[in-house]
Structure 1
C-alpha cells in the first residue's frame, strides 16, 4: 500500500479506533491519527462536538479536523500511510477533509455495522471509553443521504475487528477511492 490517507468513519461504536489501529499495525510505514486523542490535547476549555456553547463546539470541531489533516499531510509527505479515525457526519465535513488533504490520495471507509451493533458495542466498552449518544437514527440517515455511494460502506456487523482490518488492507484501494 503506497503512502496515502485512509479516512475511517462510522457511528459511535462502529469500531473506528480498533480497526484503524489494527490496519496501521499491518503496514510497514503507518501512522494512526485518532480524533479522540487529538481532542485530548485541549487541557482546559474543551467543548465536545454536540456540547454548548454550540458555536465554540463547531469551532473546536473545525480545529480538530484542521489539526488531523495537517499532521496527516506531514506523515503522507514523509512516505507513511496515515489512518484517520474520525467522526465525519456529512458530505460537507468530508469535503472539508478532502480540501485540506488535497492533492494527496484519500480512501474513505464508512464502517457500517448497523445501529443495534453500534449500541451494543458501546455498552461493552470500558466505562471510561463509552460515548453517550442517543441519535443514531438521525446520524445514520444523514450519512446515507449525504454520502450516497461515496467511498466504501463496509458492513462489519458479522466481522471481527481483525477481519475488518484485513478487508480494508485488501480492498480499500479499489473500493474506497474518493479522489
Structure 2
C-alpha cells in the first residue's frame, strides 16, 4: 500500500488512538499525529470541551485542528506515512480533508454503537463521558452531521487488529 496519509476519526472511546497507533506501526517510516496533543499544550485558558461549544471553545478546537493538519503536512512532506487521529465530526472532518486534499487523505470513521462507546469509556483510565454528556451525544452527532466520506467501520464487535486489517483491505 502506498497511502501516505490516513485520517482516523470517531467519537470519544471509539478506539481512534489505539487503532491509529497500530496502523502507524505497520509502516516502516510513519508518524502518528493526535489532535489532543495540541489541546494539552494550552497551559492556562483552555476552554472546556463538551457537547456544546461556546465561541472560545470553538476557536480553540479549530486552532488545534489547523495546527494538527500543519504538522501532518510537514511529516508527509518529509516522507512519512502519517496517521492523524482526532474527533472530527461534521464540518470539522470536511475542513480537515479540504486542508489536506492535495495529499489525498484516506478517511476512516470508527463508528461503534453508543453502548460500546460507553463500555469502552468505563473500561479505560481516562473517562470523557458523564451523565450530562452520554456517549449517545457524539455517536448521534457523528451519524447525523458527518458526511459519508471515506471508510465507515462499525467496530463494535472488532478488536484492534481486525479494524487495522479492515482499513488495509485485508
TM-score by length of 2: 0.89
- Local SS of the residue matching 1:31: strand
Separation in 1, partners of 2:137, 2:63: 24
Q: CA shift at 1:34, angstroms?
A: 0.9
Distance 2:50 2:139 in 1: 16
* Number of equivalences: 168
Unaligned runs of 5+ in 1: 172-179
RMSD: 2.0
Unaligned runs of 5+ in 2: none
The aligned counterpart of 1:162 is 161
Please report how far the alpha carbon of residue 51 of structure 1 lies from its aligned counterpart in structure 2 after TM superposition.
8.2
Q: Paired residue for 2:58? A: 58
Residue 148 of structure 1: how far off its partner (Å): 4.5
2:12 counterpart SS class: coil
Q: Secondary structure at the match of 2:102?
A: coil
Task: Please give the residue correspondences for 1:4-83 in structure 2 after superposition, counting only pairs within 5 Å.
Answer: 4-50=4-50, 54-83=54-83
Partner of 1:177: none
Structure 1 SS opposite 2:25: helix
Deviation larger for 145-154 or 72-81: 145-154
- Alignment check: 8 A CA contact 1:3 1:80 kept: no
Offset at 1:47? 1.4
Deviations 1:11-35 (A, max 9, x none): 1111001110111111111111112
Q: CA–CA distance in 2 between the matches of 1:160 and 1:140?
A: 19
Instruction: Determine if contact 1:3/1:79 at 8 Å carries over to the other structure.
Output: no
When the two structures are superposed, what TM-score results if normalisation uses the length of structure 1? 0.85
Rounded to whole Å, the distance in 2 between the matches of 1:51 and 1:139 is 8
Q: Name the CA distance, whole Å, in 2 between partners of 1:4 and 1:57.
A: 31
